[in-house]
Amino acid sequence: MTDAPRPAAELAVVIVAAGSGTRLGYGMPKALVPLGGAPLLLHALRGVAGSGVASQICVAVPAGDAELGGLCRTFAEEYGADAPAITVVEGGETRADSVRAALAALAPGTAQVLVHDAARPLAPADVFHRVADALTRGAHAVIPAVPVVDTIKSTAPTEGESAGIAAEVVTGTAVREQLRAVQTPQGFDAATLLRAHEVAAGWPDEQAAGITDDAMLVESLGIPVYVVPGDLRSLKITTPTDHVLAEALLSVEGAA
Ligand code: C5P
């Protein structure tokens, strides 16, 4: 059952859409890649606006882009008076840089922020509601996640004679029951997320290169990050195989 939408007057959703999409191989920014005939970003905008949680949306697009910004403006016009306020900012070199650029553009008084990947165009409204609800109940940070089905091992490059056998060797096996695959939207109270990003902006390049989501920055401050159920339909489109899977999901769901 879908929970009722919970519009919060001061909740902003940041959509990061400034990735290059190199691994997808379309030769265009990933957020423009079509899915069911519509660009990924349009699906993400529909999902966010349709969830009813956001009073404002800020989209980070690639530097120099005109098309994705135009798409946001057209969406706002077509959505009509009920559309959340949509702003567009130039993203950065890394995902964290893009999030920081969007945070700097949020309306004064923004109390809560959800950060969502444009690369997850099929995230269901329920996931947005669960994340927003947890924030309303007092969480400073909340992430949607699903159990891991594969066994996860750590590896290291092989050296010396063993390098002739294979390129990598196993160094450990994680306890699968404790592992979760983490998705977006990730939710935060605005002050916590801003502080986490301010601190991480000072990290050395090597450490900054290891930033793969926003929650890990909050974790590094010692603040609890709560986990709510994600959804397998929130898959992140990174490779051509992901794209095929998303097309199949979309045709089953009937949404375009
Ligand atoms: O590269 P990755 O798959 O982790 O990207 C996740 C999301 O972050 C995508 O929606 C992508 O557009 C966004 N991103 C961004 N700015 C970057 C790199 C990625 O907004 N510099």
How far does the centroid of ligand 1 lie from the alpha carbon of residue 30, in Å? 8
Q: Which amino acid is at 109?
A: G
Q: How is residue 120 written in tokens?
A: 């997850």
Q: Which atom of ligand 1 is nearest to the CA of 44?
A: 10
Nearest CA, atom 6, ligand 1: 117
Evaluate: CB of 238 within 6 angstroms of ligand 1: yes
| pTM of the predicted model as reported, rounded to 2 decimal places | 0.94
Q: Is pLDDT above 70 for 255?
A: no
Give the pLDDT score at 136.
97
Please report the pLDDT score of residue 118 as a whole number: 98
**26 falls in which pLDDT band (50, 70, 90)?**
confident
Q: Across residues 7-13, what is the average pLDDT?
A: 80
For tokens 């403006």, the residue is: 73
* Alpha carbons 53 and 55: distance in angstroms, whole number: 7
pLDDT confidence tier of residue 7, bands split at 50, 70 and 90? low
How remote is the CA of residue 15 from the centroid of ligand 1, in Å?
Answer: 9
3-state secondary structure of 36: coil
pLDDT tier at 9, thresholds 50, 70, 90: low
Atom 21 in ligand 1: residue holding the nearest Cα: 94
How far is the centre of ligand 1, averaged over its atoms, from the C-alpha of 31 (Å)? 9
Cα(200) to ligand 1 centroid in Å equals 17
Asked if pLDDT for residue 67 goes beyond 50, the answer is yes
Domains and CATH numbers, the chain: 8-148+181-255 (3.90.550.10)
Look-up: residue for tokens 């994600």? 230
Q: Are strands 38-39 and 153-157 parallel, antiparallel or unpaired?
A: unpaired
Tokens of 108: 């004064």
What pLDDT is attached to residue 130?
A: 98
Tokens representing 232 are: 């397998």
Count Cα neighbours of 130 within 13 Å in the Cβ-side half-sphere.
21
Q: What is the pLDDT of residue 1?
A: 40
Å from CA of 125 to ligand 1 middle? 21
Q: What percent of the chain has pLDDT over 90?
A: 87
> pLDDT per residue over 73-87, tens digit each?
999 999 888 889 999
Largest alpha-carbon pair distance within the chain? 67
Q: How far is the CA of 98 from the centre of ligand 1 (A)?
A: 8
pLDDT in tens, 111-132: 999 999 999 999 999 999 999 9
* The two structure tokens encoding residue 119: 């690369």
Q: Determine the distance from the C-alpha atom of residue 38 to the mean position of all C-alpha atoms in its chain, rounded to a whole number.
A: 19
Classify strands 168-173 and 153-157 as parallel, antiparallel or unpaired: antiparallel
Q: Across all residues in the chain, what is the average pLDDT?
A: 93
Which DSSP category does 25 fall into?
T
Q: What is the pLDDT of residue 2?
A: 44
Query: What atom in ligand 1 is closest to the CA of residue 117?
Result: 10
- Reported as a single tens digit per residue, the pLDDT across 182-225 is 999 999 999 999 999 999 999 999 999 999 999 999 999 999 99
Amino acid at 112: Q
Q: Is the pLDDT of residue 31 over 90?
A: yes
Query: Which residue from 28, 45, 98, 186 has its CB within 8 A of the most atoms of ligand 1, so it is best to mutate?
Result: 98
